[in-house]
Amino acid sequence: MAVQIRELGDRRYFGDEEKKIVHDRWHADCEDCLMDDILARGAAVGFEPDDLDQAFGEGYEYCEYCFDRRDPKRP
Ligand SMILES: [Zn+2]
């Protein structure tokens, strides 16, 4: 399920509830995704469990910047 979050913590995936987009924090390019802005809008959600299938199951779509067909290494 998707849960409202106030801080990113150590989650890998987080969603923008208004735009229905899921971001991957392991992806370096996701720096441009304005995570702080999403948090500030109160639109940030995390997923339980913290994986992509869960996000898709909630109706979220890939973020174009995070998901560009490269599979990022774990930082
Ligand atoms: Zn992103």
Residue 75 CB coordination number (10 Å):
7
Q: How far is the CA of 63 from the centre of ligand 1 (A)?
A: 5
What's the CA-to-centroid distance between 55 and ligand 1, angstroms? 13
**In the sheet where 13-16 sits, what is the strand order?**
2-4, 44-47, 13-16, 21-24, 61-62
Q: If you measure from the C-alpha of residue 25 to the centroid of ligand 1, how many angstroms do you get, rounded to a whole number? A: 7
Q: Which of 51, 57, 59 is nearest to 20 (CA)?
A: 59
Three-class DSSP category at 40: helix
pLDDT greater at residue 26 or residue 2: 2
12-70 pLDDT, tens digit each: 999 999 999 999 988 877 777 888 899 999 999 999 999 999 999 999 999 988 876 55
pLDDT at 72: 57
pTM of the model as a whole = 0.83
Q: Is the pLDDT of residue 71 over 90?
A: no
pLDDT at 66: 84
